[in-house]
Structure formats: C-alpha cells, structure tokens
Structure 1
Amino acid sequence: MTEFKPAQKDAYTLILEAIDSGIYRPGDRLVESELADRFGVSRTPIREALQRLETQSLLARDGRSLIVASLDHNQLSELYVVRAELEGLAARLAARHATEEEIRVLRDMVEEDRTLVDQPKALSRANRRFHKQIHLASHNRYLVQQLDLVHRSMALMATTSIAAEGRGQDTIAEHNAIVDAIAKRDEQTAYQMLKDHISKAFVTRLKLDSGAIKRLEE
C-alpha cells in the first residue's frame, strides 16, 4: 500500500501563515535569505512569493526593502465594511444551506471556546476557525474565496479585538446567538447578527487603537 504523505506547503503559504500567526508583524522587514533559511526552501520560490504578496498589498516597499504592510484608519474602515457584508451573507446562506452536521460542529466550537475566554491569542485562533466554518457552511465557493482574501488582510492588524478586556465573553455570546439563528434557519436574523458582531468588533478595535480601553495581559 502506498504511504500517504501530506502535501508540502509552498513558500507563499508559509510566509502568509507566518504573518497571520504574528511571527512577522506590520512594519517587519522580510529578507529573502532569512526566509529561505527559516522555511528551508530556495530563494527563487521565496522571491516569487514576496512578489505575489506585494501584488496583494500584504507587503509594502520601504526603500528597496519589503515590509509587512499596515492598515491606516481609512483602509481599516473599508475592510470592516466589506467584511461585515460578506460575513453577513455567509451567515444568511449558512442558515439556508448548512447541514445538521455542520450546525453541530458550530455548536461544539462555541462550547469548546468557552474555556479560552481568558486566553486572547488562543481565542483569536478559535474565532478564525469559527468564522471559517460559517463560510464553508454557506456552500458558496465564490463567497469563500472572497472571504479568504478579506481575512488575509485582517492579518495586517497588530492586535486582535478579542484582546480587549471583556470582549472574549461577548464574542462567545454573540457566536452562540449566530449559531442559534442558523439552526432555526432564520436567514435575516443570522445575517444581521453576524453583521452586528463584526460592527462591535470594529468599535472595539478602534477603541483599542486609541488606547481608550484596556488590553488583557498576554
């Protein structure tokens, strides 16, 4: 029997995941040779990956160097407007198309995430998984692709809104209400609740960026 071997990740995916996980943060300089050493690949695929990431505006030029891009206030606002609409649509379609098994997975995620309320980094990762599951439950491949692009840009934020004191509990409660609406096949409520959820996250982020509220100790 042929042994199954998982596919190796390409340079683009490796760098993207490093940005998403915070290994490289906005403003950090990316050097071909250092990336090649870190990921154990040659410089040619690294160079191609960097060019692709620059084209997608995830990297920016700083003189002759490439750095991880950052979002200004206007870009952040524009991103959240698009995200709210697309996420809301995903919830609406999930209420229409999600299987009972997919709904059970969403419910299980909410329950498991209750144990992470005081762990902002872990809860942030769990939050991404939860939203991704809703995207998949929409059963619309084109919407999933667009949301993937939006969430790549979300990686350019230096902090997560879940890091705000009290936001973890609110996030879990909002997720639970969204799943309830999906389970009831209430498309309009699912749409509006997820839009409101993103809006609250945006308000929290604006307050975090202004220093108006406290971050949890990490």
Structure 2
Amino acid sequence: MPDQKNTQSDAYSLILEAIDIGVYRPGDRLVESELAERLGVSRTPVREALQRLETQSLLTRDGRSLIVASLDHNQLAELYIVRSELEGLAARLAARHASAEEIRVLRGMVQDDRQLLNDPQALSRANRRFHKQIHLASHNRFLVQQLDLVHRSMALLATTSLAAEGRGQATLAEHHTIVEAIAKGDGDLAYDTLREHISKAFETRLKLDAASASRYSL
C-alpha cells in the first residue's frame, strides 16, 4: 500500500511541475477529479496538494474553482526585486565557496546550452538548471530554500523572456561573465553581474508584456 505522505508529495510535485512547464498556465482551471485521473492517484492527495498550492499563492479562487494564479505588474516587479538580491547573494557566496568541480559544471552548462538557442522552452529549462547550480554552489541551505520559493513563483509567468529575439544569445554571454566572476573568486563582481543579468531579463519581460498588451488593445 503506497505511503499517503509520499503520495501527497508526489501529487504536489507533479502538479507544480505541470505549472512550471506550461501544461497549466495562468488562468487555467484545475479540476480535482481530472487531476486524480491524470496522475493515477485518489482524490485525497490531489485535494491536499491543491490546498498546499493555494496556500503558497500559486493557485487562487475563481468562485468555487481553483485556477493557476497570475502576477500583476506590481507583483512582477516585487518578485524581480527579491530575485535580484537573492540571486546576487548566491553568486557572491558561490565566488567564495564554489569548488573547482562546481565551476567546471557551470562552464559546461554555458557551453552545452549554446545548442539550445533555437528552442526557447528548452533554453528556459536549461536556464533554471544553471541558476539552481549557482544556488547550490553558494553552500547556504537557507538561501537555497528561499530561492526555491522565488523560482516557484516564476512558474506563474506564462512565457519565457528567452523567446525574445536575441535574448537567448545575450543570456548565455551573461552566464559566461557570471561564471568567470565566480571562478575568479570575485564576490562583488559576481554579485553585480548576476544582478545586472536579472535586471536585463526583467526589462525584456516588461517589453514583451507591453507588446502583448498593445496587441490585445487593437
């Protein structure tokens, strides 16, 4: 008989992953019975997983239904401010604590990700892996936990800024600069370059959102 706690955790992880990869997008309705059938579990762990996601503000109420939450302009700005500071701190700590092996892994990621420039969705997933590797290289478990929460909220963004023309190439160049700052052990430079990287990503996203809003207003 499957462990109930593990089943609940699996349901939560699978629903979260489905939101993260865009199976469910902001505004989509999540139906308990349909999810239970899709995941091959009973409705109880699905119900508990949905309650947990609602508590974390990843889902919101629309009448009696639960839908995937969306971020308004102010929430988006707040998220990027927090992300910028925490990511910068992770880079600073990585410059102090990253092992030679971790730095080689980061360099390898930048090199390998060049093969994904024509696939924004795959590059977006690779981008998350790259940032996660920097988080781990900080060797600060509490910072990693906070960044996990931030990146969980990033799943509420319906599109990736890497879809913007030229952004993928620029992102990899910025990743290279960040890794080299970490490799030099220059915490201040690593902090500054990663915060600038997040700033450029935010600027790109604002431009994409503005362009999308103008299309809908026509």
Equivalent runs, 1:66-215 vs 2, <5 Å = 66-211=66-211
Return 5+ residue gaps in structure 2 as ranges.
1-5, 213-218
Q: 1:189 Cα shift?
A: 0.2
Report the counterpart of residue 38 of structure 1 in structure 2: 38
Return 5+ residue gaps in structure 1 as ranges.
1-6, 213-218
CA distance in 1 between counterparts of 2:85 and 2:38 reads 38
Note the alpha carbon deviations across 1:98-140, whole angstroms, 9 max, x for none: 0000000000000000111121011000000000000000000
Report the counterpart of residue 4 of structure 1 in structure 2: none
Aligned length: 206
Note the alpha carbon deviations across 1:128-185, whole angstroms, 9 max, x for none: 0000000000000000000000000000001000010000000000000000000000
Q: Which amino acid aligns with 1:61?
A: R
CA distance in 2 between counterparts of 1:132 and 1:21 reads 16
Secondary structure at the counterpart of residue 211 of structure 1: helix
CA distance in 2 between counterparts of 1:209 and 1:127 reads 20
Q: 1:10 Cα shift?
A: 1.2
Q: Normalising by structure 1, what TM-score? A: 0.93
Q: Normalising by structure 2, what TM-score? A: 0.93
Secondary structure at the counterpart of residue 76 of structure 2: helix
Q: Which amino acid aligns with 2:44?
A: T
Secondary structure at the counterpart of residue 60 of structure 2: strand
| Root-mean-square deviation (Å) | 1.1
| Aligned-residue identity in percent | 79
CA distance in 2 between counterparts of 1:14 and 1:35 reads 10
Secondary structure at the counterpart of residue 208 of structure 1: helix
CA distance in 1 between counterparts of 2:164 and 2:116 reads 14
CA distance in 2 between counterparts of 1:41 and 1:87 reads 36
Q: Which amino acid aligns with 2:137?
A: A
